[in-house]
Structure 1
Amino acid sequence: MSLGDEREASGGYGGTGQTRTRLPEGGGDTYGTPRRAGRSSSRSLVTVVGVVVLLIAAIAFANRGGDDSSSDPDPGNKPQAGATAASGERPVKAGFAQDEQGAQSAAANYAVALGSAEMFDKAKRDAILQAIIVPARISEFEANLDKAYTPAFNANVGLNENGSPPNGYTFVSRTSPIGTKVTESSESRATVEVWCSGLLGLAGENSTNPVTNSWFTITMQLEWANGDWKIVTHSQKDGPTPVPGDERASTADEMAKAVEEYGGFTYAR
């Protein structure tokens, strides 16, 4: 069963079908405790954190409305520009394949789930763990992450003690998989490395924790259990990190608007 299937059954997190996605950090911690402490440390503390969603040209082309009236005399037949925000519908309803490709897809999707803002909500976090962790270790993961996502940690990333953002601010926590690599595999086990980019922070005027970008690689040990790949352990290390570009940093309002208008991916790879 995929993450999306199990989450629907538990009334929690959005679908994570079997197509491509990615995970956050644990700073070498097999339970994936938050990556950053303080300013830079609180960001490197969040195990599953942040993801930047970039629309590729192909999607933009597919979604734009046609403008060549000579190619179709009936404007009603032309595709209309569509919203890019996530629909909330699960795009994939099946589990991941029991092969290396399926293991990579599972790892990428689990990285996205673990790096989401939902991890800061106890009920949603537990639903995610129920869906992606091997059954024998769910309780252990829950206990360790409960110790990590504390009121003090929430305050370090700019949130209220209960994990909600202050009034007038938009909380951003997304992880985007850049690529995956299988280092070991068998019929029932696989070790997958996921190279990720992440976003974490508060978007809003005068934010003392502005949204910043980070790069990290997550290693997951997966096991085939109950007809799907499940996480046994995972750890995280920094990089590889590219040289920053010359783009102007967006304003707080631009960042908040982007987060609200561009829905995060619920699956990848």
Structure 2
Amino acid sequence: MRNLPERDSPERDMPDHGISVSRFSTRPLYLQARDAIAQRIAAGEWKPHVAIPNENELARTFGVSPGTMRKALDLAEAERLLTRRQGRGTFVNDPSSGEQRERYNSIRGRDGKRICGDVEVLNLLETTVNERECLRLRLRLRERVIRIRRLRLTDGKPYMLEDVAMPAKLFPNLTTHQDASQRFVVLAQQFGVLLGKGEERLAIGAAAPDVAAALQVEEGATVMRLDRVIYTLEGKPAEWRLGQCLMEGRHYLAELN
């Protein structure tokens, strides 16, 4: 009788719709299983709010053990791709709804609630990356970026001016997109980009003339500068934003997970 490969051996061939495995890969199988889950969500094969197959079915489909599959699902839930509901199943999260849509927004009002408000796009273009964008987005010279300058308003009054840069290869033809003012998580979903962590640096500064004019304050007024990078699930920078915010009546909430 010939010897069969072990269930989780990285040297076996996967099913057509399973995990792409190289016998030389040192990447753990549970991470490869998570990647397969993420790919199906990004491709729209698994839709938001819809239940996915159960753990055992997924293990058979991807050719891994139930324990490996469980570990992959635990990670996918921790990364907010999925939500498990006791007795009902595992469901795909919708990043464009509710708290998910505002997950990177740390500005709160006096009542402690996130400030959503309106967005006005002042400028939108695709151009060649500059030196700072190379550093913050980990791009090479001559690569292309999408630059957006936009104003955030609440109750019709501006409170934050944002300068945004995104790799054009992740958001092709965004300059012709029907609504580039959408929340970043909504745009990412529309372009099949799955988002991971965000990092933000805070500093206090004085409003330059163009910033003061946009925010309708005097030149030199105090603003909080929010330098933020949002990464894809694979850890690649997807957006760099420099926001300059008026903090009167507002506060910044740092959430520690």
Q: In which range does the TM-score fall when normalised by the shorter chain?
A: under 0.3
The structure whose Rg is larger is: 2
Which structure is higher in RCO with an 8 Å CA cutoff and minimum separation 6? 1
TM-score between the two structures when normalised by the length of structure 1: 0.26
